[in-house]
């Protein structure tokens, strides 16, 4: 056994334990009896403490010091890079600080739920301030003397990304999205759905659309959860969805979205399973897969035509007269406060707002005490109407209470990545629409699998996208796609 073999053998056990933690979290959101919550916290904490100890285990340091990088092939160099990165980030943060963060965000999430229900940001602010203080302290430990605090946090979700680069890109996105939104909302609205859709039928259709997007149910399962998510890697990748009687699209497009996340994990080369390379490479790249499945493919005119027939098979005549109207209904814009309910045009505006505010919080330019006002001002500026209550504004997302500063931009980055991939995919599969029109995603998914998914964490996130798309990352393809799509649906002048 060489040092590298020992290292990988230790790491493999860590990865297996991380899968166990993921399964536990799946259970918590889908199966766990309500009365088990307090005990479960203790079980999760025990497992996290084992994982934390392993990630900073001194033997890792020894092995890493004695491995000869040059003797390794590309995949094993990638393994080494990912293990080294995780180890260095773990040991840079003092154990007492890591424990304080875990304790505080656990408390903050409970307080956030109460504050959101009460519509009381001020009651939540002191604890959020404490979370922010601890995360800045962590960022300082990670960044070193000259490092950028925000970049240090962002690195957890999108390794290698820089806040300033994202800022520049997002500043180009924002005005065009604001303008497109205003134009679209000035036009007559497509038909809305007007009847209820029984939940059993929604779940049957959820299964059909998941399978139409290649979800392998021998290595996964679909359950309901309050907030849909995908969970697990390798041969056990599960998805969840939800049902709302008045809104079957919530169920169906949550399902397709999570199928994108799950498909990425299921399609990573099995040789990488239970290794660092064996998982999706970043949040942004993950989101690119969920978004291209959900939007560029799932909300396309062609796929909507197929889905319309499946909807009629299940629900009969539901008041939308033809596939073209159905396509418009699926892609209908309306005003709203909530990020997770937003359409393709408005979604990124919600994210850019959060990105700007959290960067200012981390840099110290914005105080938590002023956060609610800043949120409300920005929302009014971009959307043209005022936030009515904190639950629809600054208190709507769990992220900050959970300490997840640096996470939000990966949502929009994922959309930008999806735009690039979609442009390349259209060139590679010229008859994509005639395939989607009969519910066949096979050629598109084969391209994604071959060009991107199978590699897992072999390359950096940006290199992963650029390898697949064959172009530098840019927001242009996304914007061009949105302009063209919504011009078509809403009868706008072509840009």
Binding residues for Zn(2+) are: 257, 261, 287
Could you say whether residue 17 binds its own copies (CB under 8 A)?
yes
Contact yes or no for 450/468 (Cβ under 8 A)? no
DSSP 120-152: -HHHHHHHHHHHHHHHHHHHHHHH-SS--HHHH
273 counts as binding its own copies under rule CB under 8 A: yes
Tell me if 1 contacts its own copies by CB under 8 A: no
User: Minimum distance from CB of 220 to its own copies (Å)?
Assistant: 6
The DSSP H or E segment spanning 190 is: none
- Site for its own copies contains 12 (CB under 8 A): yes
Q: Which of 117, 158, 211, 258 is catalytic?
A: 258
Report if residue 58 touches its own copies, rule: CB under 8 A.
Answer: no
Residue 431 binding its own copies, by CB under 8 A = no
Taking the least distance from each CB to its own copies, the nearer of 237 and 304 is: 237
Q: Is 424 in the site for its own copies (CB under 8 A)?
A: no
Question: Strands 222-224 and 230-231, how do they pair?
Answer: unpaired
96 makes contact with its own copies (CB under 8 A) = no
Secondary structure E strands in 334-382: none
Which span (42-50, 281-289, 340-348, 452-460) binds its own copies, by CB under 8 A?
A: 42-50
- Touching its own copies, residues 188-217 (CB under 8 A): 216-217
| Residue 15 vs 155, nearer CB to its own copies | 15
The nearer residue to its own copies, 43 or 341, going by C-beta atoms, is 43
Cα separation, 122 vs 366, in Å, equals 15
Q: Are 242 and 250 in contact (CB under 8 A)?
A: yes
What sign results for the dihedral spanned by CA atoms 221, 279, 351, 472?
Answer: negative
**Residue whose C-alpha is closest to residue 114's, from 354, 339, 395:** 395
For residue 66, how many other CB atoms are within 10 A of its CB? 12
Helix (H), strand (E) at residue 231:
strand 230-231
Q: Which stretch binds its own copies (CB under 8 A): 14-22, 134-142, 333-341, 444-452?
A: 14-22
Say if residue 316 is exposed, middle or buried (CB neighbours under 10 Å; 0-12, 13-18, 19+). Answer: exposed
Of 267 and 296, nearer to its own copies (C-beta) is 267
Contact call for residue 104 and its own copies (CB under 8 A): no
The yes or no reply on residue 16 touching its own copies (CB under 8 A) is yes
Among 3, 6, 25, 50, binds its own copies (CB under 8 A): 50
- Which of 6, 25, 29, 32 lies at the binding interface for its own copies (CB under 8 A)? 32
- Cα(17)–Cα(341) distance, rounded to whole angstroms? 34
The binding site comprises 257, 261, 287
258 is catalytic: yes
Terminal C-alpha separation, the chain? 62
d(CA 142, CA 130): 18
Active-site residue set: 258
Judged by the rule CB under 8 A, the positions of this chain that interact with its own copies are: 12-14, 16-17, 19-20, 23-24, 27, 31-36, 38-40, 42-43, 45-47, 49-50, 216-221, 234-236, 238, 273-274
């Amino acid at each position: 056994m060489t040092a590298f073999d020992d290292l990988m053998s230790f790491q493999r056990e860590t990865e297996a334990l991380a899968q166990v933690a993921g399964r536990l979290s799946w259970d918590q959101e889908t199966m766990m009896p309500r009365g088990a919550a307090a005990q479960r916290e203790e079980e999760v904490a025990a497992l996290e403490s084992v994982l934390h100890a392993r990630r900073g285990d001194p033997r890792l340091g020894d092995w890493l010091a004695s491995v000869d990088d040059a003797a390794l092939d590309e995949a094993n160099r990638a393994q080494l890079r990912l293990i080294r990165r995780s180890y260095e980030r773990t040991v840079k943060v003092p154990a007492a600080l890591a424990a304080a963060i875990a304790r505080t965000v656990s408390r903050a999430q409970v307080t956030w739920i109460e504050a959101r229900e009460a519509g009381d940001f001020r009651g939540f602010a002191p604890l959020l301030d404490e979370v922010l203080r601890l995360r800045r302290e962590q960022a300082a430990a990670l960044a070193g003397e000259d490092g950028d605090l925000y970049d240090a946090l962002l690195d957890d979700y999108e390794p290698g990304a820089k806040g300033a680069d994202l800022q520049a890109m997002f500043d180009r996105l924002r005005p065009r999205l604001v303008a497109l939104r205003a134009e679209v909302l000035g036009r007559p609205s497509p038909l809305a759905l007007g009847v209820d859709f029984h939940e059993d039928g929604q779940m049957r259709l959820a299964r059909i659309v998941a399978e139409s997007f290649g979800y392998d149910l021998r290595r996964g399962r679909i359950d309901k959860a309050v907030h849909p998510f995908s969970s697990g890697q390798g041969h056990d990748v599960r998805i969840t969805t939800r049902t709302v009687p008045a809104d079957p699209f919530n169920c169906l497009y949550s399902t397709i979205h999570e199928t994108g996340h799950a498909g990425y994990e299921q399609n990573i080369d099995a040789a990488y399973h239970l290794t660092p390379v064996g998982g999706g490479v970043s949040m942004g790249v993950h989101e690119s897969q969920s978004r291209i499945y959900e939007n560029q493919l799932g909300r396309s005119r062609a796929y909507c035509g197929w889905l319309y027939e499946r909807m009629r098979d299940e629900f009969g005549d539901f008041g939308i007269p033809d596939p073209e109207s159905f396509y418009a209904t699926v892609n209908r814009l309306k005003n709203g406060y909530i990020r997770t309910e937003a359409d393709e045009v408005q979604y990124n505006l919600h994210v850019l707002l959060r990105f700007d505010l959290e960067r200012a919080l981390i840099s110290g330019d914005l105080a938590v005490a002023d956060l609610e006002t800043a949120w409300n001002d920005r929302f009014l500026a971009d959307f043209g109407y005022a936030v009515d209550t904190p639950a629809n504004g600054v208190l709507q997302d769990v992220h900050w209470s959970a300490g997840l500063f640096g996470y939000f931009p990966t949502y929009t980055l994922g959309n930008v990545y999806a735009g690039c991939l979609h442009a390349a995919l259209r060139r590679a599969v010229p008859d994509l629409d005639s395939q989607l029109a009969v519910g066949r995603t096979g050629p598109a998914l084969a391209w994604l699998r071959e060009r991107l998914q199978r590699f897992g964490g072999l390359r950096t996130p940006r290199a992963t996208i650029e390898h697949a798309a064959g172009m530098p990352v840019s927001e242009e393809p996304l914007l061009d796609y949105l302009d063209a799509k919504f011009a078509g649906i809403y009868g706008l002048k072509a840009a």
